Amino acid sequence: MTPVIELLKAHRSIRKFTDQTVDQSVVEELVIAGQAAATSSFIQACTVLQVNDPAKREKLAQWAGPQPYVEQAPQFLVFCADMKRHQLVCEMHDAPMASGFTEQFLTASLDCGLFAQNLVVAAESLGLGVVYIGGLRNKIAEVADLLDLPELVYPVFGLCLGYPDQNPETKPRLPLSVVLKQDSYDDSQDAATIAEYDETVRDYYASRTGGTKDMSWSEQISGMLSKEARPHMLPFLQQRGFLNK
């Protein structure tokens, strides 16, 4: 396989970083790499906020978990789905913007995911480590206010970035037969395959935690999905001008 494929398969989340700084020139080059990702209809609906203010970092770290590495990482980026600039360009052409459509929310959010993953792969190619921070959505209204986000902009997730000070194992993914289907959706064998995968994940957690975590993938996911999942998100997004149509 190519070095790029091997790099992709070696991804780990890094939550402990050295004190080595990440130069601004590197950050900017990574953002440019992120911009090169595919973007639906050339909409380019992702804006990245680089958060340097220690007081803001401290608040974000607490709201996200707490997750102290948000405060400690050399760099912290927030990826925002941004339709505000599109409102601006419509005004530049005296064209009233038809906003609030679910399709716009999807394309802007997907743009952020594609942009960020390009940036992450570029960062890992330079020996940097990263961890995504979806926990920003725990207090999404507070995050938006802290970062002065206007209407038609919302924070999708954050990203810690720095040089790794740990070497965790790669986390085992679902077997290929569960995620790659041929011609139609057939999950008749998935339960048995997932049961086998569960033991792989249980062994992974036991190894990673020194035996303090005994949990399978299906136990973890079923526990998570039996609870409410940030019910504040829908009213927040609607107040921001998303998901109204």
- CATH number, domain 3-168+228-239: 3.40.109.10
Total residue length of the chain: 245
Q: What is the pLDDT of residue 1?
A: 87
Run of H or E residues at 234 = helix 233-239
Reduce the DSSP state of residue 39 to 3 states and report it. Answer: coil
Q: What is the pLDDT of residue 152?
A: 97
Instruction: Scan for tokens 């091997």, then name that residue.
Output: 6
Rg (CA), the chain: 20
Please tell me the number of Cα atoms within 13 Å of 28 on its side-chain side: 3
Residue 10 has which token pair?
């070696």
Q: What residues have CB less than 8 Å from 221, skipping those under 6 apart?
A: none
Each residue's pLDDT tens digit, 128-183: 999 999 999 999 999 999 999 999 999 999 999 999 999 999 999 999 999 999 99
Peptide bond into 3 cis (omega under 30): no
Q: What is the DSSP letter of 13?
A: B
Got the DSSP string for 70-112?
Answer: HHHSSEEEEEEEE-HHHHHHHHHTT-------HHHHHHHHHHH
Q: What are phi and psi of 14, to 5 degrees?
A: -110, 125
Residue 175 has which token pair?
């077997």
The residues spanned by each domain of the chain are 3-168+228-239, 176-209
Strand ranges inside the chain, DSSP E: 46-50, 75-82, 129-133, 153-162
Instruction: Scan for tokens 């925002």, then name that residue.
Output: 80
The sheet with strand 153-162 has its strands ordered as 46-50, 75-82, 153-162, 129-133
The pTM score is 0.95
Q: What is the pLDDT of residue 148?
A: 98
Each residue's pLDDT tens digit, 9-24: 999 999 999 999 999 9
Residue 229 has which token pair?
């999942």
Q: What are phi and psi of 79, to 5 degrees?
A: -95, 125
CA distance 33 to 28: 9
Q: What is the pLDDT of residue 204?
A: 95
Each residue's pLDDT tens digit, 42-59: 999 999 999 999 999 999
* 8 A C-beta contact, residue 193 and residue 177: yes
CA 94 vs CA 41, 88, 91, 172: distances in Å:
21, 10, 5, 52
Each residue's pLDDT tens digit, 60-118: 999 999 999 999 999 999 999 999 999 999 999 999 999 999 999 999 999 999 999 99
